[in-house]
Structure 1
């Protein structure tokens, strides 16, 4: 596995300091550059250089993305549904009922515990760097970076139009408008897990489109333009169509499904190393399929 990124200096990039090249040409963060430079993971023609080094034509710049790290998470063996994996990242399909990262309430049994075991079992010396997250009872695709470089790149690129997160939800009732955009600010109340629509909150944008209509609900496809906590759940409830099973935000508890009927089914993003667009998807889980069949 090659952990190094290699670049050759051409005419346009000669005669500038390597710090400027890394920051403005390669779009690396100041934090990443500083750490890599201190650890001598940035070299020119196989020699570690200071960040004021002036690049010359045909210089070979290499950045080693590997660094030895540890994480205070106990590895635990569990089934991991891997959708895509390479040296820089992994995408997994998280089942409902699993917390993504250890908390005071859930110190063990989380996805991060399972991923750390998965990495160690394969001899990969990396920690769990979450790029995306899902609520405990939301299922679907989660993106995890394997090194500092890919985490920095993916977090930066989340603002791009080429980075898309698609969801499917079964909502209560029938929407008058079969497609549209919800642009309402979401505010975190003090000492309350529940978010609300409030002008004091952050701007939040969700695009939606009805996929299939039933007598008592609809299957809706959603795409996030922003990524606030509980965003889809709050937005759908705000327009009078909460997600079925989402009792925190007004969804009916009808004993058909034991959690909110929300699934992160699609993920599209530029690869941090190659810029190639990666497009991944996963099928609806059985409990949401069963709910849809009953509604039909």
Structure 2
């Protein structure tokens, strides 16, 4: 496992302070640079340097990403489906019914419990840094950073067009427009309620949709999030009169499927280490396939 980032200073980058090089050339956050510098994790030609060091062409910069870390989460032996993994990131296919991170109501049996056990078994000193989250009963792709640098990079790059999260949903009724954009603010009603509503006091929220397949009084939609609000897809589709099957919180029928028929089916993101595009796609699970078959 390669826990070091390595860069070589080009001729045109001669006489640049290392702080400016890391921040402007490599787009590394000031917070990360400061912490790594204090811990003497940044070296030039094998020697720790201060951040006012003037780089010379040919210098080798190394950033040590290893760090002793821990979380107050119990590792649990729970099977997980790993779709992609390297030294910086891991992507898993979360089943419906699994919470991603412990809460007061769900302190065990979560994806985070499973991942910490998985890391421990592999001998990797990683904590769980979620880049995206899914509701308990939404299945599909979840991206986790395995170090602070990867988490910083992915959180920064979520605004890029190359960072895409797409979903498949089965909704009640047939949409009149086969493609469209739902641009409506989402607001938390307050108190202990998990319910969200469309309200001008809320945050701007944008969902793109396309009808993939028309069924008998139902549609299979492909959706892409431009923003990532809690329950965004569920609230948006309900607001236009087409709630997701199984989503009783927002008006969906649960006679055929006992959870919202929503699946995070594809994910693409620039890799934090070298910027190469990682593109992943998985099939919909059997319960949604059975729902589509029943409604066809």
Superposed pair shares fold, TM > 0.5: yes
SS of structure 1 residue aligned to 2:34: helix
Which aligned segments of 4 or more residues in structure 1 are displaced greater than 4 angstroms?
Answer: none
Aligned length: 295
For structure 1, the residue ranges without an aligned partner over 5 or more in a row are none
Greater Cα shift, 90-99 or 190-199: 190-199
Alignment partner, residue 200 of structure 2? 199
SS of structure 2 residue aligned to 1:294: helix
Cα displacement (A) at 1:12: 2.5
Cα displacement (A) at 1:252: 1.4
2:243 matched to 1:242?
yes
Greater Cα shift, 168-177 or 186-195: 186-195
Alignment partner, residue 41 of structure 1? 41
Alignment partner, residue 80 of structure 1? 80
CA distance in 2, matches of 1:249, 1:64: 47
TM superposition score normalised by structure 2: 0.98
Q: Per-residue displacement from partner, 1:176-211 (whole Å, max 9, x unpaired)? A: 001110111111111121111111111111000001
SS of structure 1 residue aligned to 2:170: strand
CA distance in 2, matches of 1:34, 1:105: 37
For structure 2, the residue ranges without an aligned partner over 5 or more in a row are none
Q: Per-residue displacement from partner, 1:128-160 (whole Å, max 9, x unpaired)? A: 110010000000000001001111111111100
CA distance in 2, matches of 1:236, 1:2: 43
SS of structure 1 residue aligned to 2:75: coil
CA RMSD of the aligned region, Å? 0.8
Greater Cα shift, 197-206 or 159-168: 197-206
CA distance in 2, matches of 1:207, 1:12: 42
SS of structure 2 residue aligned to 1:209: strand
Q: Per-residue displacement from partner, 1:79-136 (whole Å, max 9, x unpaired)? A: 1100001111100000000000001110111000000000001111111110010000
Greater Cα shift, 2-11 or 223-232: 2-11
